[in-house]
Amino acid sequence: MAFASAAFAQTITADTRATPTPKPTPIPTPQKIDLKNLTGEQIAEYAIFFYGLPGGRATLNQIRKTTLERGTANILNAEGKIDTVPYQRFIIRGDSLSKEKIRLDQEFPAARYSLIYAEDKIFGVYNNTVFTPREDAAKVFENQIWRGLEALLRFRENEAKVELAAKEKLMGVEYHVLDVTDKQERKTRFYISAKTFRVMMLTYEDSGIKYKRKYYDYNYAQGTLVPYRTVLWTIEKLGEKVIEKQIEETEVGTITFGQRVDDGLFAAS
């Protein structure tokens, strides 16, 4: 915002009267927004702004053209035991999530394989051989993509519908609550801090099972906001009792944006 110069030299005329000092040009004030009565889309836009501070959507698009993420996931297996799984995630950003290219390499105790999302399809690669992943594995991967932070941060690009629900207060923290529904009718509820506009939790239901994901340890990476730890639970109600079971915890070790990512990583052959 430019300020008019206030340095004016005073001059004296022959009749000793001082020339009036010009007044500074008035500074235009931005349109005021009532923070107590935000719409759902305004809340989403505030969140986008803080995740890509200071340019919001433009900063995210510029910085996150590619992503290389490495970390560890602790995943509950079918036997009820925890598998510690090192992983790598490669992303080439698309104009929308449906045009994104994502590769997730996972090293389980018994096998190492990759899941790939490209051209709005999911397939797997094991020992350089393409395979069709099990339905449950493909669904978990799909939900990581379409029911994660990007579903909110790119709601416009995805042509998703945003609806504002009633505010909630949990453990003393006040949240804006937004329901984001994409074109495939996948609905995710986001709990956004009324103070920081960070997503602290989301919930969704899939195949009759309710899930809750929480985000922790936020920090800025190359000027964009990243949660370095996430935890996923299933929620089951038995009579009056609610049972929550942790099924996944992910810790990001390193994450970098803008590095070259080979397009061949996402090929089916």
Percent of the chain with pLDDT over 70: 88
Would residue 148 count as lying in a domain? yes
Handedness of CA 30, 33, 39, 44 (dihedral sign): positive
Domain residues for the domain of 253 are 40-266
Cα-flanking dihedrals φ and ψ of residue 38, to 5°? -75, 150
- Beta-bridge partner residues of 113: 106
Task: Tell me if 3 is assigned to some domain.
Answer: no
In a domain, 27, yes or no: no
Kindly state the average pLDDT of the residues 48-52.
97
**Looking at residue 116, what is its pLDDT?**
98
Residue-level pLDDT at 36: 76
| Residues pairing with 103 in the sheet | 90, 116
* Any domain includes 185: yes
CA distance to 106, 153, 154, 248, 252, per residue, from 257 (Å)? 20, 17, 17, 25, 14
Q: 8 lies in a domain?
A: no
Q: Looking at residues 108-119, what average pLDDT do you find?
A: 96
- pLDDT of 177 over the 50 cut: yes
- Distance CA(198)–CA(193), nearest Å, equals 5
Radius of gyration of the chain (CA): 25
Q: What are the structure tokens assigned to 170, written together?
A: 């949990």
Question: For all residues of the chain together, what is the average pLDDT?
Answer: 90
Would you say 247 and 234 are in contact if contact means Cβ atoms under 8 Å apart? yes
pLDDT at 77 over 60: yes
DSSP label of 134: P
- 25 falls within a domain: no
- Tell me the pLDDT tens digit for each residue of 122-176: 999 999 999 999 999 999 999 999 999 999 999 999 999 999 999 999 999 999 9
Query: Is 252 domain-assigned?
Result: yes
Split into its structural domains, the chain has a count of: 1
Q: Is residue 4 part of a domain?
A: no
Q: For residue 37, what pLDDT is reported?
A: 86
Name the band, by pLDDT with cuts 50, 70 and 90, for residue 30: very low
pLDDT given at position 216: 98
What percentage of the chain exceeds 90 in pLDDT? 84
Count Cα atoms within 13 angstroms, Cβ side, for 66.
10
Structural tokens at position 253: 């070790």
Burial class (CB in 10 A: 0-12, 13-18, 19+), 161: middle
12, 20 Cβ separation under 8 angstroms: no
- Above 80 in pLDDT, residue 83? yes
Give the model's confidence band at 33: pLDDT under 50 very low, under 70 low, under 90 confident, else very high.
Answer: low
Over the stretch 202-246, which tens digit does the pLDDT of each residue have? 999 999 999 999 999 999 999 999 999 999 999 998 889 999 999
- Span 263-269, average pLDDT: 91
Give the domain CATH number at 60: 2.50.20.10
Which one-letter amino acid corresponds to residue 247? I
